[in-house]
Amino acid sequence: MHTEIYPIHEKCEGCEHVKIEGDEKLCEVYPKPEIWWMERKFVKGHKGYWCPKATHLEKVAPEVHKMLNPIKASKRFIRG
């Protein structure tokens, strides 16, 4: 079975996984890179879509807002 390899997506420029074969730029990780550009919220400075294997984007963890039970919090405060 032969997998056809497609050229990189325009947003792949600058990634370390891009290799040049002849006159085409190809992805070393994915045969069809354009389908891997998914909507994510964890990329600093880039809104919208990004590839999970992109090395040229800075990924940041999402902020987690933990719900605090006020009754338990007051009991912890009293106990010290």
CA–CA gap between residue 3 and residue 31 (Å, rounded): 7
User: Tens digits of per-residue pLDDT, 41-79?
Assistant: 555 655 566 787 888 877 766 677 788 888 988 888 888
HSE (side-chain half, CA atoms, 13 Å) at 14: 9
Whether the per-residue pLDDT at 2 is higher than 80: the answer is no
Tens-digit pLDDT profile for residues 7-47: 888 888 889 989 999 999 999 988 888 877 766 655 565 55
Q: DSSP letter string over 15-26? A: -TTEEEETTEEE
From the list 14, 53, 63, the residue with the least C-alpha distance to 33 is 53
Residue 18, both tokens: 């891009």
Which residue, 64, 12, 10, 27, is CA-closest to 42? 64
Amino acid at 2: H
